[in-house]
Chain A
Amino acid sequence: MLSRIAESLYWLGRYAERAEVTARILDVYSHALLEDRVGGEESACRRLVEAMGATEPAALVEVGTNVESLVGFFVDDPRFDGSVVRSLEAMWENARGAREAMSSEMWGSINATHSALDARRGRSVYAQHGFLGWVRDRAAIVSGLADATMSHDDTWRFIVLGRSLERVDLTVRLLSTRLGDAWGTAGWVATLRCCAAYESYLRTYRRGVEGSKALEFLLLDRLFPRSVFHALGAAETALFDLDPTSDRHGAGSEPRRVVGRACADLEFIRVAELERSLPEHLARIERACSHAHDVIAKRFFNNAIAIRWSA
């Protein structure tokens, strides 16, 4: 397939996932914080800023330490690149350049989402909740249509690859905020909810939320699709199928080697070990993701030859 299309599909997968997860985080935070203000609004805001990976300090000072206005900022402020609305727009832009590669149903769903964006955007906290729920639904529909209406060929694999790497990235970033440490059980519940993992966790462990178990679940669970291990595995599978060459000395392609190694690290680590040096482990996974992105771009997208023919 065309390199340009592959790149668009990869980013489409990333942005759809980013919109969904970001919307969920914002929804969970705003409600958890409204219910429980023990930690104080200021520290809550700081956590939220970290969870969103926001790096626009000037704009954030203007927004102030108020959960409501902060959520509004993360939903659609043009100064924030990772906003929910920006992610949906970027998803649409990437889809638009690659629409003939996807099913009509999928493009229709993405386009309908984009068209309805303005009308759906809320202003109050109440309206934001509705909007964020709608965003999650739309992202889930897009993702579901990709799985259910497209052949699981390279086209689809690039979407899955983008989606999986973004999922790893966001989960790791969320864990890095160490919300649970500062906020105890409520913090861990919020973290699980942010990953849509709370109910699965309860069903899996059949007891109340504990920090180490929550960590184990979000990082290492083999069956929960949003765990870091599961998402890395999905990315590795996609990479293997995209480029199935291998020889007797392991993985043939650099992208697969990078992702597979991060995955293997998690597969064989002890939970106690992980807990002892969590920040280092999270940082390593984060580095692997960013490195994986670079080698994927080099291997699959950077075929373009810059041609100049000015007189």
Chain B
Amino acid sequence: MGDLLDAYEPIDAWDEMFDAAGDTRLDYRALYEHVQTLSKHDFDERCATRDRVFRDQGITFAHSGEERPFPLDLVPRVISATEWSQIERGVAQRVRALERFLDDVYGPGEIMRAGVVPRRLVVTSSHFHRAACGGISPPGGVRVHVAGIDLVRDAAGKMCVLEDNLRIPSGVSYVVENRRAMTHVFPELFAAHRVQPVSDYPARLLQALSATAPRGVDDPRVVLLTPGVHNPAYFEHSFLARQMGVELVEGRDLVCRDNVLYMLTTSGEERVDVVYRRVDDEFLDPLHFLPTSMLGCPGIVNAARAGNVTIANFLGNGVADDKAVYPYVPAMIEFYLGERALLSNVETFMLDDEDVRSWALDRLDQLVWKPADGSGGKGIVIGPRAEADALEAVRVAVEAAPRSWIAQQPVALSTAPTYVGTEMKPRHLDLRPFALNDGENVWVVPGGLTRVALGEGSLVVNSSQGGGSKDTWVLAPHGADVEHEATAVADGMECEPLARQPFDMLPAATEQAAQQQ
């Protein structure tokens, strides 16, 4: 008999497991009861099993030059069916609006003509690739095949969108592998809960990729393009390729001729129809982008423009997940879908307005500063925690290029009990649900990747900086059968009034090496 959670002391933030009075939240009760039956010794034993499961499969990451098993915390994060259905609809809504936005800015530009999103904001985005993507509609009309929408829960318990990842979001393999490891380590917990499964993600991804193959291709050949074994996300690339049963190719395996893409095989060249690429735009085609890149395939962009190959995600999506465009997403949802945003944004300050800028710069040490075109948390400065010279550097940078920065108000992220050392401690976390668009429906994998900042008080959830993760359990609706849950999210959802948003912020989140979001 243990008492692992007896000494748990929530800090000044929304706690996922306990309410303000210290009572266990309804959906956590069964989990709480079970964890309480375990001693530290039992728990350490489960941790050892987990490490073995991960290490043997090579699910590791490099931290301070050492290969460690992926740090999965064994206390899962639980999301009720009711809350999940709101998140799911909100994420799907957002993805549909962002798809429309991309189609619009690379096409007629109606939203700019209507003055809803300023034209100069779009055309000055470093990810706006008009030459490569303008004037064509990709197969199935899909540009965002895979999206990762980062959510955080603020002090009041409300889920907000922190950022959108529409280029090459990563982390979904950990969603599937965390679940697999948890079923090995804590089989009895699954008996006590009805958790919505996540294991069909690869099959659905393949379905979405096949559905968006070039017109006239009945049995498309899909491949996954990786930068190679030295990419930090290589495990994920390999995992997805294996789970989908498609070839994992590198740039050197591909060749383009007469706008048709081939891969080099033991029986000669074979035609490729769909490329799920995990290589950044800039490295994808030396003829269009960086001429020195060895990671891509010369000619692939023209093959896509000719309609002979599908590139997923499509090129130029970065203009829609640009931080300076982010504040306009709720307006986009209204403009394109005629709906109010189901998930709110975090309050963000646009610095190209002089008054806002000087107001914000006066509060340099109170705000969070983010480069507008960055992804994965690169270059983010958290005012209240930054050194004076770092803040001064931000001031200089912002004054030199106001378009390149945004400012946001910081707040504490929600916390959940996390096994640190030998004790349960409150640690901050976020959530990245993954959405797939096959051109007909947007499907959101139940849950997503919950990332945890393992350091005390830390807001950095990034695994390369010592961040961890939790298995994310979306509980089945009461009385419903998981197997028969409707999975696609239909249009025409109910609308909530657009509430004034509490402040929020991104912990220096998903910092990962190149070629990742």
B66 smallest CB distance to A (angstroms): 12
A residues in contact with B268, CB < 8 Å: 303
Q: B208 an interface residue at 8 Å Cβ cutoff?
A: no
Chain A residues 95-129 with CB under 8 Å of chain B are 96-97, 99-100, 104, 107-109, 111-112, 115
Chain B residues 237-287 with CB under 8 Å of chain A are 238-239, 241-242, 247-250, 252-253, 255, 263-266, 268-269, 286-287
Tell me if B255 and A111 are in contact (CB < 8 A).
no
Given A1-B247, A112-B55: A242 and B291 within 8 A (CB)?
A: no
Q: B229 an interface residue at 8 Å Cβ cutoff?
A: yes
Tell me if B56 and A108 are in contact (CB < 8 A).
yes
Chain B residues 437-479 with CB under 8 Å of chain A are none
- Which of the residues A154, A242, A304, A310 comes within 8 Å of B264, measured between beta carbons? A304
Instruction: Name the residue of chain A whose CB is nearest to the CB of B250.
Output: A4
Tell me if B241 and A100 are in contact (CB < 8 A).
yes
- Which of the residues B57, B264, B265 comes within 8 Å of A107, measured between beta carbons? B57
- Number of residues on chain A facing chain B (CB within 8 A): 28
Tell me if A3 and B264 are in contact (CB < 8 A).
yes
* Complex interface bits, A1-20 against B, C-beta within 8 A gives 1, otherwise 0: 11111100000000000000
Q: A272 an interface residue at 8 Å Cβ cutoff?
A: no
Tell me if B229 and A97 are in contact (CB < 8 A).
yes
Q: B58 an interface residue at 8 Å Cβ cutoff?
A: yes
Given A2-B264, A3-B253, A4-B250: A100 and B291 within 8 A (CB)?
A: no
Instruction: Name the residue of chain B whose CB is nearest to the CB of A300.
Output: B266
- Number of residues on chain B facing chain A (CB within 8 A): 29
B residues in contact with A96, CB < 8 Å: 58, 229
- Which of the residues B56, B255, B265, B286 comes within 8 Å of A112, measured between beta carbons? B56
B301 smallest CB distance to A (angstroms): 13
Tell me if A309 and B286 are in contact (CB < 8 A).
yes
Q: B298 an interface residue at 8 Å Cβ cutoff?
A: yes
With A and B bound together, what is the CA distance between A196 and B228 in angstroms?
Answer: 38
Tell me if B57 and A108 are in contact (CB < 8 A).
yes
* Complex interface bits, A283-311 against B, C-beta within 8 A gives 1, otherwise 0: 00000000000000000110111010111
- Which of the residues A2, A109, A303 comes within 8 Å of B249, measured between beta carbons? A2
Q: B292 an interface residue at 8 Å Cβ cutoff?
A: yes
A residues in contact with B287, CB < 8 Å: 309
Tell me if A1 and B292 are in contact (CB < 8 A).
no
B residues in contact with A111, CB < 8 Å: 55-58
Residue among B264, B266, B269, B298 having the largest count of chain A Cβ atoms under 10 Å:
B266
With A and B bound together, what is the CA distance between A3 and B255 in angstroms?
Answer: 13
With A and B bound together, what is the CA distance between A311 and B293 in angstroms?
Answer: 12
Tell me if A154 and B266 are in contact (CB < 8 A).
yes
Tell me if B238 and A3 are in contact (CB < 8 A).
no
B residues in contact with A305, CB < 8 Å: 255, 264
B238 smallest CB distance to A (angstroms): 5
Tell me if A309 and B291 are in contact (CB < 8 A).
yes
B270 smallest CB distance to A (angstroms): 9
The 10 closest A-B pairs by CB, nearest first: A100-B242, A111-B58, A303-B264, A100-B241, A112-B56, A100-B238, A108-B56, A300-B266, A100-B248, A6-B266
Interface CB pairs A-B, < 8 A, 25: A2-B253, A2-B264, A3-B264, A3-B266, A4-B252, A4-B264, A96-B58, A97-B228, A97-B229, A100-B239, A100-B241, A107-B57, A108-B58, A111-B56, A111-B57, A112-B55, A112-B56, A115-B56, A301-B266, A303-B268, A304-B252, A305-B264, A307-B298, A309-B298, A311-B291
7 new A-B contacts, CB < 8 A, other than A3-B253, A115-B67, are A1-B265, A96-B58, A104-B242, A111-B58, A304-B264, A309-B298, A311-B291
